[in-house]
Amino acid sequence: MKNKMWAPWRMEYITKAAKDDGKCLFCKVLKQKASKNNLVVYSSKHSLVMMNRYPYNNGHLMVVPKNHTSNYDGLSKTENDDLHETLRLSIRVINKVYKPQGCNVGMNIGRVAGAGIDSHIHYHVVPRWNGDTNFMPVIGEVKVISEHILGSYDRVAKAFKEVSK
């Protein structure tokens, strides 16, 4: 066995996944008030933005339509326009807060495409920096996230308030 790497935050993910009741995570969140508990940083008429609890990089956001659909064509033009305006706003916030050198933006539609939550489409917005993929994830199979999720939440939620005025 190679060197041991500790990632204690994974236990929360494993434990919650085992208790998953099969209901859509995003629909559960939509029934709640935006807060640090559910990591919702912004909400528009037809979309919401939340921090990814298990991020690939600091500031990893998910932009979610409020309409529960697994099909991109399941959104009306109004919902689609709102989703993409919210996506644009999210990228502006990421650029303001983290000053990345680039950004990955993507939507996985369907489980075979890599969707972890395949019943409710959503975009991932992941800030990227030159050299952010180094030996840790490649050799050690561990990703180092340097900022606590609640610290990220505070910074991103504040920036959404400033940018969306």
CB 120 within 8 A of CB 24: yes
Domains of the chain in sequence order: 22-163 (3.30.428.10)
Q: State the Cα angle at 7 between 146 and 106, rounded to 5°.
A: 65
> CB count, 10 Å around CB of 25?
19
Distance CA(105)–CA(140), nearest Å, equals 25
Taking only the tens of pLDDT, the chain with its 165 residues reads: 455 555 565 566 556 544 556 688 999 999 998 889 999 999 999 999 999 988 888 999 999 999 999 999 999 999 999 999 999 999 999 999 999 999 999 998 888 887 788 899 999 999 998 877 655 554 455 566 778 889 999 999 999 999 987
Place of tokens 């917005």: 125
Give dist(CA 163, CA 71) in Å, integer. Answer: 30
State the distance between the two ends of the chain, measured CA to CA, in whole angstroms: 53
Q: Is 46 a catalytic residue?
A: no
Indicate which residue of 84, 122, 124, 148 is catalytic: 122
Task: Note the pTM of the prediction, 2 decimals.
Answer: 0.81
How far is the CA of 97 from the CAs of 2, 20, 22, 82, 87, in angstroms?
A: 36, 32, 34, 22, 15
CA gap 143, 125 in Å, rounded: 17
Using the structure block, give the residue that is written with the tokens 């916030």.
Answer: 93
- The three-point CA angle 93-98-102 to 5° equals 90
User: Residue 64, Cα to own-chain centre: how many angstroms?
Assistant: 9
